[in-house]
Structure 1
Amino acid sequence: MENWDDYRFILALDRSGTVRAAASLLGVTHSTVSRRLAVINKRYGKPIFERAAGGYRKTQLGAELVEAASQIEGISFSADRRRKAGETELSGPITLSIPDALGQYLLLDYLADFCRQYPDIKLSLLSSYRFADLDRSEADVVIRSVATPPDHLVGRRLFPYALSYFCRRDYLEKTQPADRRWIVAVTPSGIPSWIADSPFPDASIGMMSDDITLRHRAVMSGYGMIRGACYMNDPESNLMRLPNSPPPSPAPDFWVLTHPDLKNTPRIKLLMRFLASALLENQDLIEGRLANA
């Protein structure tokens, strides 16, 4: 490609499949993507993408350019990581990817304290349940509960978080047995398998949401019962575990991870130690050993 910036547009369109989605990835207007695509097609004298049902698909030439663009992108990301790895001061940017609930309900005060202690480190937080792609520099450090993280990442394996059954303290008293409802995540089957093992396996589903925080707010408001993380629900004085709940069940272990190119960068090592320490400090809560009476 004569203009190396073209590879961003080619990759974005290949990964998203539509002009509008590619524009969103790139932070530009869809007309900008359309114009750039037309220029690239003209430059090569033949289309690199062609219209297909619902969007675009790459031609044979397009596939070759996408492969080349991917290699260029990888070189660019690698060069950026190596630049960061060579920085020895406790200063500069770090992007941390954490699950939204973990940030809000457990680590917020710790992260604020880190920013106060190290004002020269500019910490950016990405709240997402998707595993950030460290190879593509979407983040520098990631915390995730996962059974098997990508093999090449480095860091520390900690311990699982625990799940149990909760409701507001007055919910069972105020709600007739036939009216008791579960608040659940949106699932393809519609009925989570864990309901069968709960203290109320015959209760119906009253609300479904893909937002963990919304489900937590709903149970706090007395709209039903949930299965949720102990670290979110046990500290709430107006919530209780359901009577006759089985012992909390473990989710996959928490991991604090970074890319191997960054493992010796001082500010990265500092943040990873800080995060591991914060999680270890709260291990009893996270593993469900601090239930409210």
Structure 2
Amino acid sequence: MENWDDYRFILALDRSGTVRSAANLLGVTHSTVSRRLAIINDRYGQPVFERIAGGYQPTEWGTQLVQAAQQIEGISFSADRRRKANETELSGPITLSIPDVLGQFLLLDYLIDFSRQYPGIELILQSTYRFADLDRSEADVVIRGVAKPPEHLVGRRLFPYALSYYARYDYLEKTAPSDRCWITLPSPAGVPSWIATSPFPDAPVRMTSDDITLIHQAAKQGHGMVRNACYLGDPDPDLVRLPQSPPPFPVADFWVLTHPDLKATPRIKLLMRFLASALLQNQDLIEGKMGSA
């Protein structure tokens, strides 16, 4: 490409499929993307993208440019990681990708303490349940509870987090059996399969949400029964495990991971050790061994 900035626009349009979505990805206006696409088409003397129902797709020539742009992007990300790897001071930014509830309900105080101990390190928290792409520098460090993370990442495997069943401490007393219900995450099957082996298998699902914090708050306020992580439910004085609940069941191991290029960066190593220590200090809680409040 004659203009190396073209690749950002080409990749954004290829990945999003529409001018408007590409503009959102790039943080520019809709008209800027349209104007830039016209310039790119003119520069190469043939269309790079063609209109289809609902958006754009690359032409045969455009596909070749997309592949070249992906290579350029990979080189750019690699160069940025190598730059970070050569930084030896305990200062500079670290982007940490962490599940929202883990940050809010378990590790927030630890993260604040880390920032106080190391004021030269700028901790950038990325709260998401999606596994950040470390190859594309979406994050420097991730904490995830997964069965099998990407094999090329490096770090530490810890122990599994566990789930149990919870309701407000007075929910069963104040709610007639016919009115008891579950609040759950959305399930492709409609009714989650785990309800069949729960303490109340005949209770219906009355509400679903993809927001775990909202589900937790709904249970605290007495609106239904939930299945939640033990580190979320057990310390909460408003919640108790449901009677006849089976022992908490492990789901997936927690991992603290980074990209191989960053494994020797002092500030990255420091944060990873700090996070592993914080999780280990709460292992009994995370594994559901402390019981309900």
- TM-score interval for Structure 1 and Structure 2 normalised by the shorter chain: over 0.9
Deviations along 1:245-293, one digit per CA (max 9) or x if unpaired, are: 0111111100000000000000000000000000000000000011126
Residue type of the partner of 1:200?
Answer: F
CA distance in 2, matches of 1:181, 1:31: 50
CA distance in 1, matches of 2:252, 2:30: 40
Deviations along 1:124-151, one digit per CA (max 9) or x if unpaired, are: 0000000000000000000001111111
Correspondence list, 1:89-128, <5 A:
89-128=89-128
Matched, 1:62 2:62: yes
Matched, 1:228 2:235: no
Partner of 1:29: 29
Partner of 1:278: 278
Partner of 1:291: 291
CA distance in 2, matches of 1:277, 1:255: 12
Residue type of the partner of 1:249?
Answer: F
Partner of 1:182: 182
Partner of 1:9: 9
Partner of 2:133: 133
Deviations along 1:160-214, one digit per CA (max 9) or x if unpaired, are: 1000000000100000001001001112222100000100000011111010010
SS in 2 for 1:131: coil
CA distance in 1, matches of 2:192, 2:26: 37
Q: Which runs of 5+ in 1 are unaligned?
A: none
CA distance in 1, matches of 2:155, 2:60: 40
Residue type of the partner of 2:220?
Answer: M
Partner of 1:48: 48
Q: CA RMSD in A?
A: 0.7
Check conservation: 2:165, 2:245, Cα contact below 8 A.
yes
Partner of 2:85: 85
Residue type of the partner of 2:279?
Answer: L
Partner of 1:72: 72
Query: Runs (4+) of structure 1 moved beyond 3 Å?
Result: none
Residue type of the partner of 1:6?
Answer: D
Normalised to the residue count of structure 2, the TM-score between the two structures is 0.99
SS in 2 for 1:157: strand
Deviations along 1:85-106, one digit per CA (max 9) or x if unpaired, are: 0000100110000000100000
CA distance in 1, matches of 2:26, 2:290: 45
The alignment covers a number of residue pairs equal to: 293
Normalised to the residue count of structure 1, the TM-score between the two structures is 0.99
Residue type of the partner of 1:38?
Answer: A
Partner of 1:268: 268
